[in-house]
Amino acid sequence: MRTSLVLALLPAISAFQLPFKLPFFNNHSGQQLLQPANTTPRVAIIGAGAGGASAAFWISKAKERFGLDIEVDVYEKEPYIGGRSTVVFPYGNTSLPAVELGASIFVKANKNMWRAVDEFNLTRRDFRDEKGMGIWDGEKLLFTASGGWWTWWDNAKALFRYGFHSPRRTQVFVDNMINKFLTLYSPDAPKWDNITHLSTTLGWTDLVSQSTSEYLRSEGVSDRFISELVEASTRVNYGQNADEIHALEGACSLAPTGASAVEGGNFQVFEQFVKRSHANVYLNTSVKSIRQTGSDRWLVDSDRGSESYSAIILAAPYHSTNIEVPSEVSSRIPPQPYVHLHVTLVATTQPSLPPQSLSLSASTKVPAMLLTTFEGARNGGKEPEFNSLSYHGLISEGEWVVKIFSKKRISNKWLSKMFDGQVGWVLRKEWDAYPVLPPSTSFPDVKLQPHFYYVNAFEPFISTMETETLASRNVVDILLKETFGGSGICGPEGTPLNDTAKEDYVFGWDC
């Protein structure tokens, strides 16, 4: 039996701002413009998270290859680059290890993230946990594993509880998804202006039109395996149950074998994308409206004033931005709800969770990572008070940091009870962490209007740091061809410019 699927469930603000001192000009209506309209073609990127940062980088790659003369402005309302990828430091002490507050992991199949870490001389660290994993239903531990390289006893327990066929069939399901996903990096990677079309091209219509539970059940996977190991994964990665989230994203949540992160924070990848793009960056700058002023001109109103652009790349969830856009644009972006997640970080001197905090016998060894299932609540039991609770290593001698994901705010009283009063630093963060991803066959368009493109159209399909970089690469390819009459990022028809595509070829990087 292959154990990589179950192993995959184991754990899994620095910024810069360019100064600006540009003269103001007035247009015919008296509005302030930051430059005359007849200068170098300009592109506005709204958002400096994974999508916006990588979009700036992809444009710069095309500029290098083809000598394009395009100026890029990146607007970001926050004071940092990285979006939902950001870190904090225990006790606010930057000499202690950084802790990811948002997007935490990527895998080798995520070729843009993996390549960026190597190209930018960053350091990868893996997420292998030697202290074990358990599945909690709110009242009892259903399954535990020792972690690290599984013992024969872990394998025996898994076989006894889940049988042979369910893990194997689920692994085939995940492997098939990954193999199709990897075609997005090939020399003939598909292009798309509509996510529904891409889904059809990749043969994923059945995956997005059914819940993870429905699809796996149809493949002969047992209800127990789905409601425990699969649901534990969808809850920790996307805050959604297996019978709620579509099967494509369910497969993604099961795929992080060999999960890695950047030492010091994944946000560094996106800082480097922007830095190396040589784009103008305006942090702490909110965009208020985007208006069309001609067949090929867009006016961006922001905290800085108004500026005219040849094209717009919206790289932020539209309904969360409060940006006013023409009705012709807004009508093509359906509402997208997000999972409102509570993240609680705790420093504790407890090396593991005391068993009495879960009403378990004193002899019980509680694993370092507790994942959860909703199955007990479905059957009339108690719903777990958290989606996941995991130890993330020592921050100093005799003190550990713990990360908790939950639907509701975790109180100080609850923390004190869980850690037997041994709680030091606590940090809470609420945010709309992931899109709600029910089964669907209809997705937003990528091209909203001529020269107006939407990176986050990809999020209801797959939501990861990596897929934001893929979505932005596709948007930039369309933009370069349609707005500037270029050949895209990699030349005509996406043909690699080098003689032959290497085995480790990555479209966007290697052409």
240-269, pLDDT tens digit by residue? 999 999 999 999 999 866 788 999 999 999
Residue 466 backbone dihedrals phi, psi, to 5 degrees? -65, -45
Proportion of the chain above pLDDT 70, given as a percent? 88
pLDDT of residue 145: 87
From CA 455, how far away is CA 432, in angstroms rounded? Answer: 17
Q: Is the pLDDT of residue 231 over 60?
A: yes
Tell me the average pLDDT across 36-63: 90
What pTM was computed for the model?
A: 0.89
DSSP string, 441-465: S---BSEEETTEEEGGGGTTT--SH
> Can you tell me the mean pLDDT for 383-401?
94
Compute CA 146 distance to the chain's CA centroid, rounded to the nearest angstrom.
28
Position 129 scores a pLDDT of 55
Q: For residue 166, how many C-alpha atoms fall within 13 Å in the half-sphere facing its CB?
A: 20
Nearest by Cα to 378 from 153, 197, 161, 137: 137
Return d(Cα 51, Cα 76) in angstroms, integer: 12
Q: Identify the band that residue 334 occupies on the pLDDT scale cut at 50, 70 and 90.
A: very high
Q: Residue range 219-228: average pLDDT?
A: 97
Q: Please state, rounded to an integer, the average pLDDT across all residues of the chain.
A: 88
Confidence of residue 3 (pLDDT cuts 50, 70, 90): very low
What tens digit of pLDDT does each residue of 73-89 get?
A: 999 999 999 999 999 99
Buried b (16+ CB within 10 A) or exposed e, 54-87: bbbbbbbbbbebeebebbbbbbbbbebbbbbbbb
Report all structural domains of the chain as residue ranges with CATH numbers, in order of start: 25-84+263-337+439-494 (3.50.50.60)
More confident residue, 187 or 344: 344
Tokens 């009870």 appear where?
Answer: 417
| Res. 12 pLDDT band, cuts 50 70 90 | very low
Predicted confidence (pLDDT) per residue in 145-178, tens digit: 886 545 656 778 888 899 999 999 999 999 999 9
Residue 118 above 70 pLDDT?
yes
| Predicted local distance difference test score (pLDDT) of residue 24 | 28
Distance CA 85, CA 434 (A): 12
CA distance 134 to 444: 38
Buried b / exposed e across 201-232, counting CB within 10 Å, b at 16+? ebebeebbbbbbbbbbbeeebbebbbbbbbbb
Q: Which two tokens stand for residue 191?
A: 């292009």
Is the CA virtual torsion 173, 175, 181, 183 positive or negative?
Answer: negative
pLDDT 10s digits, 442-456: 898 999 999 999 999
Q: Which stretches does DSSP call E strand in 323-422?
A: 338-348, 369-372, 388-396, 399-406
State the pLDDT at residue 494: 52
Q: Given pLDDT bands bounded at 50, 70 and 90, which one contains residue 130?
A: low
Q: Which amino acid is at 332?
A: R
Strands (E), 320-387: 338-348, 369-372
Which residue matches tokens 């992160």?
A: 261
Please say whether the beta carbons of 461 and 367 come within 8 A. no
Quick one: average pLDDT of 472-495?
85
